[in-house]
Amino acid sequence: MKIFIAGGTGFVGGHLVDELLQRGHQLRLLVHSRNSKLPDRVEQVEGDVTCPESFTEAVTGCAAVINLVGIIREFPSRGITFERLHVQATANMLAAANQAGVKRYLQMSALGTRPEAISRYHATKFRAEELVRTSGLDCTILRPSLIYGPKDAFINMLAGQLRLAPVMPVIGSGAYRLQPIHASDVARCFALALEQTETIGRCYELCGNDRLSYLELLDAVASAMSRPAPFKVHVPLALMKMVVPVMQCVPQFPITMDQLQMLIEENICDGCWKTVFRFEPRDFRTAIREYLGR
């Protein structure tokens, strides 16, 4: 099957490209500029997901479209906003698929996405989902929880802080829970969803088996690095809610109000996706040890 992918050069995209190639699929990736690190058998189309005229014709001849495009933080001065990259980009991808006569469409959303979401991240992800659901295409939506793996941002950021000092700031109680899933497991779910017709018209929440509080997550990262549990400095949530709105406009500041909101509201699911895709996700502690231990 020939598949058109937007966001295929990102963190999850790299895993998905490998998974789909192993399954014998042909891939056509939308890229900002040609990427020499991609396998030679991957066709590259230079364009921008926010400029439909740059890629619409390239969707022709494909049997499926996958949209992985998403951002976790806005930089409005550079045109990087949730509205543009989540909502408008999805509208452009759907329009291109419809124009090319491609019926099969997969969308990466995020766990926690819902109509009453407080964060703009989740709110725009939901609006994008609604566009997909009403597109008339044979669509499948996947909502991963916190995604980790060798080149992830979050777990590696925590490890980097621990390398500097055995002290970790914790917002509030740290009792809020996360249920991370490995990027290779997310990629496998996308590939299986593409191949299983019963997933058409469905939305799946993806999470791992390990449900950890933020405090437990910090200890797991330290253990994977063969270090003692860090000393945890609790920062009052009320204080962070005063500081973050003022500081989040500074690109170097590590957290935004959206990210703060998503952190404290938890990121867990029931794991029902395993009955559909029929495999067990990777063990979190074992998997992070493979790359943090180095």
The answer for residues whose C-beta is within 8 angstroms of residue 36's C-beta and 6 or more apart is none
For position 254, what pLDDT does the model report?
A: 85
Q: Is the dihedral of CA 211, 214, 218, 221 positive or negative?
A: positive
pLDDT single digits (tens) 149-175: 999 999 999 999 999 999 999 999 999
Distance CA 153, CA 1 (A): 31
Q: Return mean pLDDT, the chain.
A: 96
Residue type, 15: H
For position 252, what pLDDT does the model report?
A: 83
Distance CA 62, CA 52 (A): 16
- Asked if 168 and 214 touch (Cβ cutoff 8 Å), the reply is no
- Asked if 138 and 201 touch (Cβ cutoff 8 Å), the reply is yes
Distance CA 61, CA 243 (A): 51
22-52: burial string, b at 16+ Cβ within 10 Å, e else: eeebebbbbbeeeeeebeeebebbebebeeb
For position 77, what pLDDT does the model report?
A: 87
Distance CA 219, CA 98 (A): 48
Question: Considering the entire predicted model, what is its pTM?
Answer: 0.96
For position 294, what pLDDT does the model report?
A: 78
- Residue 207, judged by CB atoms within 10 A of its CB (0-12, 13-18, 19+), counts as buried
CATH topology of domain 2-147+181-208+269-281: Rossmann fold (3.40.50)
For position 36, what pLDDT does the model report?
A: 87
In which residue ranges of the chain is pLDDT below 70? none
pLDDT single digits (tens) 241-253: 999 998 898 888 8
As given in the structure block, the two tokens for residue 113 are 């996405």
So where are the chain's domains?
A: 2-147+181-208+269-281
For position 280, what pLDDT does the model report?
A: 98
Instruction: Check residue 172 and give left, alpha or beta (phi > 0: left; psi -120 to 50: alpha).
Output: left
1-11: burial string, b at 16+ Cβ within 10 Å, e else: eebbbbbbbbb
